[in-house]
């Protein structure tokens, strides 16, 4: 390859050929590929691919391919599904199958599990009557539509669901019933909260970064510590601290009561709501704004502003025309970091957000851990990931990702 080229760069003067550089990077690239990229790919495939029903009810689904979709299917379909449900129960996959069909059409879980349980004793040949006898839902074409739909290996269902949409049995896409609609408004809320947090952090962080960047070195170091201490302190510790401060019987309320500023029975509700989420998250994210701003500001000589001032510009003009533009890379880096951290935040809203302070990431966790609707969790994750990727690319075009610094 390039062995004839003179070794020209830094450390690699001693490693020789460029191949070595690739060799050095390769282990980590492979590692990240395996432990990070592959998981994300798995998640994305989960959001569109689900073979569970297709694997458990292969014959039924094959027969349903030929079904007219208007009348209740013929006797052989009943016989087949009775057999396949029984097998699924023996193989302990019935729960997974029923859950998935139930997500397409609510109420079918119990129809399927009950049928699988009772059909053991049942005998042919009147399978249709037997099944309808177990549950009247077997006489409803919608049940069969749902089974056929759940049997699709590839599906856009989860993405539709994540956008509060669904595909009706006639094939067209429509909004879900009002009482189940939640994701779009939650995505919107997350976006608004993240933008507000970014704005708030910039508002609080910019003056502070300026103060630190242009203070005499001794004092600057001390002030910087005040930002670094929260930055390094465990997230859970800081969240605990806010609970201690903000709760009804907490430090702030008790102080206000002791000072006679509020009555004992009208203590303020500052936590387990959106206020709690906003306050605690601002605290968590502020250092991520201050540090990049500081890193940029300390390279800007104050001379520039004094020069502008001596040329007759007012302080505000001098700041706006001369100083602010030079800090834009820091503003960009800090805002990107804060925004991206904010839209994916889970721990703090979960602990101090109560009901109204929940964000979209809490829904991902809910579907990962409680409802076990992993396809939906993956789809919401996929939407969020796409959004972050776009931001990331925009940032790379505007500022350059290599300039990402840790303050």
Partner 1 sequence: MPPRGLWERAGRTAYLAFCTAVFVFLIAPIVVIVPLSFNAEPYFTFTEGMLRLEPAAYSLRWYQNVMGDPEWRHALLNSLFIGVAATVLATTLGTLAALGLTHPALPGRSAIMGLLISPMITPVIISAAGMFFFYSNLGLTQTHLGLVLAHATLGTPFVVITVTATLAGFDPNLYRAAASLGAGPLRTFRRVVLPLIAPGVISGALFAFATSFDEVVTVLFMGGLEQRTVPRQMWTGIREQISPAILAVATLLIAFSLLFMLSVEWLRRRAGTR
Partner 2 sequence: MTSRPYRSRIRQVVHATAFVLLASLSWSRPAAGSESLTVVSWGGSYARACQKAILTPFTAQTGIETRLESYNGGLAQIRAQVETGKVYWDLVDLEMADAARGCDEGLLEPVIAADLPPAPDGSPAVDDFLPDMLTECGVGMLFYSTVYAYNPTHLAGPKPTTIQDFFDLEKFPGRRGMRRSPLVNLEFALMADGVPVEQVYATLGTPGGVNRAFRKLDTIKEHIVWWEAGAQPPQMLADGEVVMSTAYNGRIFNAQVLENQPFVIVWDGQVLDHGVLSIVAGTPKLEAARKFLAFATRTESLVAVGRYISYSPARRSGTALITTHLETGVEMQPHMPTSPQNTARALHNNWEWWSDHGDEMNERFSAWLAR
**Rounded to an integer, what distance in angstroms lies between the CA atom of residue 309 and that of residue 344?**
43
For residue 99 the two structure tokens come to 């859950």
374-393: contacts with partner 2 (CB under 8 A): none
Of residues 182 and 226, the one with the C-beta less far from partner 1 = 226
Nearest by Cα to 331 from 372, 390, 289, 384: 289
Q: What angle do CA 42, 44, 60 make, to 5 degrees?
A: 85
* Segment lying near partner 2 (by CB under 8 A), choices 36-44, 107-115, 144-152, 197-205: 107-115
Applying CB under 8 A, does 131 fall inside the site for partner 2? no
- Residue 98 binds partner 2, judged by CB under 8 A: yes
What's the CA gap between 389 and 396, in Å, rounded?
10
CA distances from 285 to 84, 157, 186, 198, 205 (A): 53, 35, 21, 9, 10
Between CA 273 and CA 352 the distance in angstroms is 7
Residue 388 in the binding site for partner 1 (CB under 8 A): yes
Partner from partner 2, partner 1, none binding residue 98, C-beta < 5-8 Å depending on class: partner 2
Candidates 68-76, 129-137, 265-273, 374-382; binding stretch for partner 1 (CB under 8 A): 374-382
Spell out, one character per residue from 246 to 285, where the chain touches partner 1: x when CB under 8 A holds, - when not: -x-xxx--x----------------------------x--
> Which phi and psi (to 5°) does residue 160 adopt?
-60, -45
Contact 338, 290 (CB under 8 A): no
Structure token pair of residue 342: 């904010």
* Residue 361 within binding range of partner 1, rule CB under 8 A: yes
- Rule CB under 8 A: say whether 227 interacts with partner 1: yes
Residues 6+ apart with CB under 8 A from 240: none
φ, ψ at 166 (rounded to 5°): -150, 160
**Pair 262, 252: CB distance under 8 Å:** no
* Binding of residue 68 to partner 1 (CB under 8 A): no
Q: How far is the CB of 113 from partner 1 (least distance, A)?
A: 24
When asked if residue 307 is in the footprint of partner 1 (CB under 8 A), the reply is no
The partner in contact with residue 42, picked from partner 1, partner 2, none with C-beta cut-offs of 5 to 8 angstroms by kind, is: partner 1
Q: Are 206 and 213 in contact (CB under 8 A)?
A: no
Please, which residue, 187 or 227, has the CB nearer to partner 2? 187
Sign of CA dihedral 340, 344, 348, 349: positive
| Contact status: 121 vs partner 2 (CB under 8 A) | no
**179 near partner 2, judged by CB under 8 A:** yes
Per CB under 8 A, does 80 bind partner 2?
no
Q: Is 181 one of the binding residues for partner 2 (CB under 8 A)?
A: yes
Cα–Cα distance measured from residue 178 to residue 135, given in angstroms and rounded to the nearest whole number: 28
Task: Select the span of 22-30, 136-144, 221-229, 262-270 touching partner 2 (CB under 8 A).
Answer: 262-270
Least gap, CB of 182 to partner 2 (angstroms): 4
Is the Cα dihedral 356, 358, 363, 365 positive or negative? negative
Is 94 among the residues that bind partner 2 (CB under 8 A)? yes
In the bound complex, what is the minimum distance in angstroms from residue 361's beta carbon to partner 2?
12
By CB under 8 A, how many residues form the interface with partner 1?
99
Toward partner 2, which CB reaches closer, 102 or 335?
A: 102
Applying CB under 8 A, the residues found at the interface with partner 2 are 89, 91-96, 98-99, 102, 106-107, 109-110, 113-114, 116-117, 179-182, 185-186, 247-249, 265, 267, 269, 272, 354-355, 358, 363, 366, 369-372
């Amino acid at each position: 390859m390039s062995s004839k080229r003179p070794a020209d760069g830094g450390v690699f003067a001693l490693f020789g050929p460029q191949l070595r550089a690739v060799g050095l990077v390769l282990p980590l690239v492979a590692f990240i590929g395996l432990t990070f990229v592959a998981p994300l790919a798995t998640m994305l495939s989960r959001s569109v691919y689900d073979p569970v029903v297709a694997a458990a009810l292969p014959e039924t689904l094959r027969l349903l391919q030929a079904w007219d979709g208007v009348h209740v299917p013929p006797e052989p379909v009943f016989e087949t599904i009775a057999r396949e449900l029984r097998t699924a129960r023996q193989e302990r996959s019935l729960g997974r199958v029923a859950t998935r069909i139930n997500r397409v059409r609510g109420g079918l879980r119990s129809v399927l599990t009950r049928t699988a349980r009772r059909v053991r004793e049942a005998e042919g040949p009147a399978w249709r009557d037997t099944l309808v006898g177990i549950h009247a839902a077997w006489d409803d074409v919608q049940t069969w539509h749902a089974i056929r739909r759940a049997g699709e290996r590839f599906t856009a269902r989860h993405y539709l669901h994540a956008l509060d949409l669904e595909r009706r049995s006639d094939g067209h896409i429509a909004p879900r019933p009002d009482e189940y609609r939640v994701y779009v408004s939650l995505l919107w809320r997350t976006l608004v909260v993240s933008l507000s947090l970014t704005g708030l952090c910039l508002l609080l962080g910019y003056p502070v970064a300026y103060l630190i960047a242009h203070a005499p070195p001794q004092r600057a170091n001390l002030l910087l510590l005040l930002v670094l201490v929260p930055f390094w302190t465990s997230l859970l510790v800081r969240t605990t601290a806010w609970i201690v401060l903000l709760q009804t019987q907490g430090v702030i309320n008790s102080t206000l009561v002791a000072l006679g500023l509020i009555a004992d029975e009208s203590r303020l509700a500052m936590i387990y709501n959106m206020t709690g989420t906003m306050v605690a998250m601002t605290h968590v994210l502020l250092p991520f704004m201050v540090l990049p701003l500081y890193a940029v500001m300390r390279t800007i000589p104050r001379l520039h502003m004094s020069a502008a001032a001596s040329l007759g510009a007012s302080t505000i003009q001098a700041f706006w025309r001369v100083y602010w533009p030079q800090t834009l890379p820091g503003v960009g880096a800090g805002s990107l970091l804060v925004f991206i951290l904010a839209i994916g935040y889970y721990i703090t809203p979960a602990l101090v957000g109560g009901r109204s302070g929940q964000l979209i990431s809490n829904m991902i966790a809910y579907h990962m851990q409680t409802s076990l609707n992993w396809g939906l969790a993956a789809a919401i994750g996929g939407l969020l990931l796409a959004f972050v990727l776009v931001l990331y690319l925009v940032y790379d075009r505007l500022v350059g990702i290599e300039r990402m610094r840790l303050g």
